[in-house]
């Protein structure tokens, strides 16, 4: 096992591994590293880690020391010198009339070497420019031509997605991107839509390429002859993200229909003639290809709230279950058309009142029709007899059974 630390010399740059020489370095600390160009300042991106011997390239360059306050002051002074050197170099380029664009200037930690990065469409003869710069700075001068993607990585910015450039943020190395990736992902081949700020194809086309390639292997090709739950037909469009296909049915060619990949059976993959001797299966067999999705019963808002509270470890409020039980009872009664106890049913309430029993009309009176109601009999109020007269006794009749003869009334 080998102990290593990871160091970055630029924000978003590539990570290099060095030997810590027994020193404990935490992530984010400044360190002084010995490189092929001399001493350099960098930031620790990965602390002390033990890895297999086969995973690192020997020999590892050593860690000199952890950066001190004096080292940080030296780095700050070099940044100020870089700004002045940038302006001077631009003036020299304009004086020599060179077709080149200066991108960045970089001082090494010791200040004995200055590196100028520039872009150009072709080769540039900058030998006279190097001599002038060396006479001004009295240091070793190096000019390096870079590409437009490296320029975007150094300068940074925002892409068409609104986020910072991937190359300036987290990409250590550029991945090869081709126009074939845009075709596989069914993207528009308009250069303004699939190109980044640097003018090259966007690096993010590489991110999902493997997923699209896997979907292409599982999905049928365009113009394939397939069997669907509604008949046989030819595929006119393939959606890799949703894994659906649009099919022109032979019975209904004017109305294409959409099916999921699991609902079709490929008879011929790709363009070609219809298979000889092919006979379409009966509709009953084709209907078995349809994907049936189970429909879940909708849950009430209270039930979903209770499940959420249970998942968070919070008990449901008291009385919730009793309230739900009462609500269910009320709903079941409303469905059956009944009402709670204590109230008469709707049928009984809406019914007419029962007719009173028929009574025999007294003697001397004719019976009236059922529709007419007889006035209640008026009872005569007893009048007081004048003084000196005796009251006349009231006759009373005693009703006997039918079998017996009526007796004469008593006087």
Residues in the chain: 411
The reported pLDDT for the residue numbered 399 is 56
The answer to whether 256 touches 294, Cβ cutoff 8 Å, is no
Helices (H) and strands (E) in the chain, counts: 11, 13
Please state the domain extents for the chain. 2-67, 74-146, 154-214, 220-287
Tell me which DSSP letter residue 111 carries: S
Around Cβ 209, how many Cβ atoms within 10 Å?
A: 18
CATH architecture of 220-287: Roll (2.30)
Q: What per-residue confidence (pLDDT) applies to 22?
A: 82
Q: What is the pLDDT of residues 143-182, one digit of tens each?
A: 999 988 889 888 888 888 888 898 888 887 888 899 999 9
Between 296 and 146, name the one with better pLDDT: 146
Contact 36, 47 (CB under 8 A): no
Q: Distance between terminal CA atoms of the chain?
A: 143
| 359 phi-psi bin (left φ>0, alpha ψ -120 to 50, beta other) | beta
pLDDT tens-digit series, residues 298-344: 555 566 666 666 766 665 555 555 555 666 666 666 665 544 444 44
CATH code of the domain occupying 74-146: 3.30.300
| pTM as predicted | 0.58
Let me know: does 111 contact 145? Beta carbons within 8 Å.
no
Distances in whole angstroms, Cα of residue 191 to Cα of each of 55, 182, 294, 404? 40, 11, 45, 126
């Amino acid at each position: 096992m080998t102990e290593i630390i990871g160091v970055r010399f630029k924000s978003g740059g590539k990570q290099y591994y060095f030997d810590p020489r027994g020193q404990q370095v935490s992530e984010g600390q400044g360190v002084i590293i010995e490189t092929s160009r001399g001493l350099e300042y960098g930031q620790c991106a990965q602390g002390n880690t033990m890895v297999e011997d086969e995973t690192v390239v020997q020999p590892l360059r050593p860690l000199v020391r952890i950066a001190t306050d004096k080292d940080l002051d030296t780095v700050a002074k070099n940044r100020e010198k870089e700004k002045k050197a940038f302006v001077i170099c631009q003036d020299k380029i304009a004086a020599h009339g060179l077709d080149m664009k200066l991108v960045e200037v970089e001082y090494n930690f010791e200040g004995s070497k200055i590196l100028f990065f520039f872009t150009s469409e072709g080769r540039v003869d900058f030998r006279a420019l190097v001599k002038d710069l060396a006479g001004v700075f009295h240091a070793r001068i190096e000019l390096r031509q870079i590409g437009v993607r490296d320029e975007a990585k150094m300068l940074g910015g925002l892409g068409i997605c609104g986020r910072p450039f991937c190359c300036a943020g987290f990409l250590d190395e550029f991945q090869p991107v081709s126009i074939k990736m845009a075709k596989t992902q069914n993207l528009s081949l308009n250069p303004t839509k699939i190109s980044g700020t640097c003018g090259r194809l966007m690096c993010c086309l590489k991110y999902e390429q493997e997923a699209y390639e896997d979907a292409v292997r599982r999905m049928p090709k365009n113009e394939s002859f397939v069997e669907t739950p509604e008949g046989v037909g030819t595929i006119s469009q393939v959606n890799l993200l949703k894994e659906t296909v649009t099919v022109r049915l032979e019975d209904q060619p004017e109305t294409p229909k959409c099916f999921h990949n699991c609902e079709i059976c490929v008879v011929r993959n790709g363009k070609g003639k219809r298979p000889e001797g092919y006979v379409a299966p009966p509709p009953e067999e084709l209907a078995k290809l349809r994907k049936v999705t189970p429909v879940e019963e909708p849950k009430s808002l209270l039930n979903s709230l209770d499940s959420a509270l249970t998942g968070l470890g919070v008990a449901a409020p008291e009385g919730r279950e009793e309230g739900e039980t009462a609500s269910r009872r009320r709903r079941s009664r409303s469905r059956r058309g009944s009402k709670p106890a204590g109230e008469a049913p709707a049928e009984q309430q809406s019914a007419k009142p029962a007719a009173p029993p028929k009574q025999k009309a007294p003697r001397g009176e004719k019976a009236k029709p059922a529709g007419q109601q007889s006035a209640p009999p008026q009872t005569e109020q007893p009048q007081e007899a004048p003084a000196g007269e005796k009251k006349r006794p009231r006759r009373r009749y005693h009703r006997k059974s039918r079998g017996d003869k009526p007796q004469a009334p008593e006087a």
